[in-house]
Structure 1
Amino acid sequence: MASAGAKLKTVLFLGSVRENRLGARVATFMKSQLEKHNYEVTVFDPDVMEFGMLKKPIFFYPPDRAGAPQWLIDAENAVKEADCYVIVSAEYNHCIPPALSNMMDHFGGSSYAYKPSGIVCYSPGIYGGMRAAMQLRAMTGELGCLSVSNIFGIPQVNKAIDETGKPLDDHMEKGANKLISQLDWMAQAMKARRDSVGIPK
């Protein structure tokens, strides 16, 4: 895992804004697990941030970002400075929640490029949001932040985590640790490569 004194930065994207959503407890749990492994975590939650229906992404502004709202500039900086990403996704009609793709599409692919991502999906049912996760595989590939092979799926999420983000069974921490171990290896390797030789032009 991320070594002491060498914190990795990650943006955790929480993708649901639906009434009585369960994603907030999943995000709280994952943030706690990442911090235990020495990650600096910034949470992007479209329910509390100012992401509206996408009309003007940040890369539609001039290179100096003149005219862009400060919160969006700050958000872009957080995405650019991250070493990896964690995507916490529900499944709406067997698809990616629109709030999630809308939020992530505010930033250009160059902001995400040459960094890994990890997918955490959940549902109240037995499939754990896996159909949305399969679509996120394609989306992260196109953004340039390829997802690691492990997907942390949480079926019957209301029975797995309580309202405060506390895990209710052993599967939770084991599943999170497996994802984080893969994410950590890739994030460290890709960061070292970016730092040593840069990225393709």
Structure 2
Amino acid sequence: MTRIAIITGSTRPRRRAPMVAAWVRDVAERHIDTADFEVVDIAAFDLPLLDEEVPAAIGEYTGEHTRRWAEAIAGFDGFVFVTPEYNHSVPAALKNAIDYLFAEWGDKAAGFVGYGLHGGTRAVEHLRLMLAEVKVAGVRTTVALSLFQDFTITDMAEPGAFTPGDHQEPTLARMLDEVVAWSAALAPLRAGRVAE
């Protein structure tokens, strides 16, 4: 069974990412029966700013937090990244979590769910570039959630309620189909890497 991680890209208190990630998992479980989906909250790993002594591409992790993060990510075949847009890019915590690892990301597929004033589109575009460098293949279909149209927010300091428009679920379903298909298509590359 293909395993897909739904990665929350924000660690900020009172963030919206858990609501969105829960929606992604719910839609995925109703729509796809050939893959398992699990929410992976980077906040739960309590990663400090990158503190490994050698580059991740070398694969010699010394920190217990790094080894725990590596083990979690290595077990998945693909990813759905849920990311807000902070200052036209991804949150620093998400970039930091990506930078901790290298081989664990490789030859896997990813889909993207962005949210923000402009649907998180600039964050997703930056995320695509970062992930390409660690050999993650990004699928084309992206979910772009607007803070004005897909959330009910009465106080910007609070998460509000997640109320996605009717058009968002079919887009998410299409993206999930792509992630599962690409994850399966890349399986021979992952198998070849393990065999080396």
TM-score by shorter chain over 0.5: yes
Shift of the 194–105 alpha-carbon distance from structure 1 to 2, 3 Å rule, reads closer
Q: Which of 34, 41, 45 is matched with 2:37 structurally?
A: 41
Distance 1:138 1:175 in 2: 22
CA contact (8 A) 1:57 1:106 kept: no
Distance 1:90 1:159 in 2: 16
Once the two structures are superposed, residues 134-168 of structure 1 have per-residue CA deviations (whole angstroms, 9 ceiling, x without a partner) of 111101111101210111111133149974x6x54
Instruction: Name the aligned partner's letter for residue 126 of structure 2.
Output: Q
1:54 equivalent to 2:50? Answer yes
Instruction: Name the aligned partner's letter for residue 8 of structure 1.
Output: T
Unmatched 5+ stretches in structure 1: 1-6
Partner SS for 2:87: coil
1:4 aligned residue: none
Q: Which of 174, 179, 182 is matched with 1:178 structurally?
A: 174
1:188 aligned residue: 184
CA contact (8 A) 2:145 2:164 kept: no
Unmatched 5+ stretches in structure 2: 154-158
1:141 aligned residue: 132
How far residue 21 of structure 1 moved from its aligned partner, in angstroms, is 1.5
1:32 equivalent to 2:23? Answer no
1:169 aligned residue: 165
1:111 aligned residue: 104
1:3 aligned residue: none
Instruction: Name the aligned partner's letter for residue 28 of structure 2.
Output: L
2:146 aligned residue: 155
Note the 1:8-27 alignment, pairs <5 A: 8-27=2-21
Partner SS for 1:47: helix
How far residue 42 of structure 1 moved from its aligned partner, in angstroms, is 3.3
Partner SS for 1:48: helix
Once the two structures are superposed, residues 87-114 of structure 1 have per-residue CA deviations (whole angstroms, 9 ceiling, x without a partner) of 1110001111101111122212x11111
Q: State the identity as a percent.
A: 23
| Greater shift in the superposed pair: 90-99 or 7-16 | 7-16
**As a proportion of its length, which structure holds more strand?**
2
Computed over aligned residues only, the root mean square deviation of the Cα atoms, in angstroms, reads 2.8
Aligned residues: 185
Distance 1:94 1:131 in 2: 5
Partner SS for 1:139: helix
CA contact (8 A) 2:54 2:60 kept: no
2:156 aligned residue: none
Distance 1:129 1:30 in 2: 16
Shift of the 80–46 alpha-carbon distance from structure 1 to 2, 3 Å rule, reads closer
Note the 1:93-112 alignment, pairs <5 A: 93-108=87-102, 110-112=103-105
Shift of the 75–34 alpha-carbon distance from structure 1 to 2, 3 Å rule, reads farther
CA contact (8 A) 2:141 2:171 kept: no
Partner SS for 2:108: coil
Partner SS for 1:99: helix
Which contiguous aligned blocks of 4+ residues in structure 1 show a shift greater than 6 angstroms? 57-60
Report the TM-score when normalising by structure 2: 0.81
CA contact (8 A) 2:142 2:172 kept: no
Distance 2:53 2:171 in 1: 34
How far residue 170 of structure 1 moved from its aligned partner, in angstroms, is 1.6
